[in-house]
Amino acid sequence: MAGALADVAFTSISIVHILVWAFVLLAWADPRTARINLALVIPLIYVVHALPFHVLESAKQRLHPGTWEQDKDDIQRALVLPDLVIKASQSMDGSFANPLSAQGMLLFGAITSAWRLLL
């Protein structure tokens, strides 16, 4: 892919990745989004994470080979909140039950979305 187009695609994929996780964590705010979260988003993420590779991370690696991790970190730092969440998660890496890991965020999204639907 041409340089500028690859940069746009890389940035778009990175932002979509962040927005998907934001949706998982915040979908409980409305019953309609909570239902979508439980019925579609969380099961899809679960299946994608069961694959031997991560679809979005693989795409980022292909678009920016050799620099993709630094470029991803730059985008996360620019958006501030994802950077804070990642730093908090890394500080809990020694824990067997990191609530900010992918599994922890899926569990949080499922519990809060189900709770919202029960209200």
pLDDT (tens digit, 0 to 9) for every residue of the chain, 119 residues total?
Answer: 558 888 899 889 988 988 999 999 999 999 999 999 999 999 999 999 888 888 888 888 888 888 888 888 788 878 877 778 778 777 777 766 778 788 888 999 999 999 999 98
- Report pLDDT for 119: 83
Q: Which H or E element spans position 79?
A: helix 68-79
Question: Is 106:50 a contact under the CB 8 Å cutoff?
Answer: no
Q: Is the overall model pTM greater than 0.95, yes or no?
A: no
The tokens describing 74, both together, are 């730059």
Question: Is 106:46 a contact under the CB 8 Å cutoff?
Answer: yes
